[in-house]
Every structure is written in C-alpha cells, then in structure tokens.
Amino acid sequence: MIKIIIDEKQSGRISSFEMKGHADFAEHGKDLVCAGASAVSFGAVNAVIALTGITPDIEQGSDGGYLKVVFPETEKDDEIQLIVRAMIVSLQTIEQDYGQHIKLIFNR
C-alpha cells in the first residue's frame, strides 16, 4: 500500500508530505495506482518549482518507493499551498476509488 503522510500545521499550512510503499495493484510497469500517485505528486513538485521558482527539499528512495518533500515558508507560500492542495485533492480522488492500495494520513 502507498501511504502518504501530510504534515499540516494548526494554521492549515501544509509543510511537507511523505509518500512511501508500493500500491501492489498490478505488476510492476502496469500499476495504474502507482502511476497515478507518482504523476500527481511529481507533477505538483515540478509545478511548484516551475511556477514559483522555489525548490523544496526533496528526498527520494533508490527503489522508487519513497518520496519526501518539505516546503519552505517563503513569500510565494500562497501559490505553493494552492498547488499542494490541488495535489491532495487529486490523491484523494485516487484514494476514493482505490483505497485498498493508497491511503492519505494527515498529521495535524
């Protein structure tokens, strides 16, 4: 199962997310849950960088089953937060249909 742990401050600000595990929905290379979650998360991180000019701290595992992204608080925080919130909505959409393979966990 893919677990996505989202750190949300009391203010509502998303400070980081950590994605770990494998969906095990289908064989490697044909796993649409994994592909969807990866596309959404990497697309959001790339959008943050391209649209705000801010590069978050990114840590990846060598086997493709781990991603942690920490968002610095900057003058572009409103823009970053909008992109991250859009990512969360997309991941929740995947979770609605494939909840046995992907789980979002909010640390508040």
Of 6, 23, 33, 34, the active-site residue reads 34
CA dist 4 and 17 (Å) reads 7
Other residues' Cβ atoms within 10 Å of the Cβ of residue 92: 12
Q: Is 22 a catalytic residue?
A: yes
Q: Is 91 a catalytic residue?
A: no
Of 13, 15, 16, 22, the active-site residue reads 22
Q: What Å distances lie between residue 87 and 16, 25, 26, 44, 97, CA to CA?
A: 12, 21, 23, 6, 16
Give the active site residues. Answer: 22, 34
